[in-house]
Structure 1
Amino acid sequence: MHIVISTGQEAASWYGELKSWQGALGSLFGFVLLIVGALYNFRLNRRRDALLRHEEAQSTVSALYAEMTLLRRECARIARLVTNRYNDHGLGRIRGEEAFDRHFLEMLTLPEPVLYPALASKVGLLPPDLALALVSFYSDFEEVRAGIPMLLSDETRGYHYSVLVVLRPAIDAVQGVPPTLDKMASFVGKTLNAEQLDLAEAEALRSEEEEGFEQARAGRTTN
């Protein structure tokens, strides 16, 4: 009888302790569930944000792809016009002492980039190699724009600019960007081939001018 009473007392004591811990255990269990739920929601939010950033990056690339394609054609047009004009003047097909005049430069008008300035803040969403290639293309394009007025002779300047001031960045913008356009198309899930633009004569003139500069530099070094 004594043993039964002792066991009953121990059970009552154990039940009392369990009852006293019941609230704490419930709170702990609820806290754990709250943490698990918060972590799960955080993961879902991160996946959603990553998806939104990727979609935004794809939209940016699609828009810039279209603009770069048009500007690339314009650079090819400028390179051909400058090359033909320079060669025609050298062959005596154009009257006058200078190959380039104000009227000819009016034909070399280039459009202002519209989408790139508007989307420049989004370029950081792109892969680093793609972002760098985009910046390089638009830098070449702006160099072409800046070089066109330099083709015009200016007596106050005291020297003349070579056609390389336009041909070099124009050819680089045309010939250097196809791999970038391919990457951009792949980034948005499309298979597109960059348009083939023939600049054989412009490239030949560029090589000729660069070779002339190298020979002149070598001559000055020798003297």
Structure 2
Amino acid sequence: MILDILGQLDPALVGGVLMAVLALDNTLLTGLVIPADASIIVAGAALTSPAEIALVAAAGTAGCFLGASGGWLLGRRYGARVRHSRAGRWIGEHRWARAERIATGSGGGPALAAAHFLPVVNALTPILAGTLGMPYRSFIRWALAGGAAWVTTYLTLGSLAADFMRDNQHLTVPLAACAALLAVGLAVVTRRTRASRNARAASGNSGGSGEPGPAGSGAAEISGPGGSPEPESASRPPR
């Protein structure tokens, strides 16, 4: 069973791999292909004790530090060119806009730390922080705090879930089926929400593109004496 194989891995090896994955997540944006959240949960499934969780959490936090620093430097050096590159367009403007709202919003540092729990967005916020000129010390302090909480939480959840599955292997198939249905449902809801948002944006753009004509642009009426409209024939000169 996969869980048994994971349980036999050396925690130091698991920590080293996780550190590399998280370091690349914010610099090369590898989290768009291999979600960092899933990587942390899988790493947690290989851990069987609090000591192992603490060891791998330290390595994962170091990876977050390296990745956040690299992403900040990338944004500082290349600025908006990353966002408007081919890869940036593939990511989607709505994700960049969401990350920008977090980086510049009123939530400040706590919102920046909490962004680690938002898939894809967590990989974009360091780049935007560097692009927007956020001071490195202020940024890295909150990024490191959020990364430590993110890694520790997901490692613990992965370890607990793996222990539960090892003790209740007869529930593997039903739980896997429920997880698959939940994933499909979330994908459908996300796609419909995105389509609805795009439709509203398109209707708003089309509605605002037309300029209303001047008032009374229809057939003008010629008023005669006393304000009463005269027939059209009265305005024609006699032959």
Compute the TM-score of the two structures, normalised by the length of structure 2.
Answer: 0.24
Larger radius of gyration: 1
Q: When the two structures are superposed, what TM-score results if normalisation uses the length of structure 1?
A: 0.25
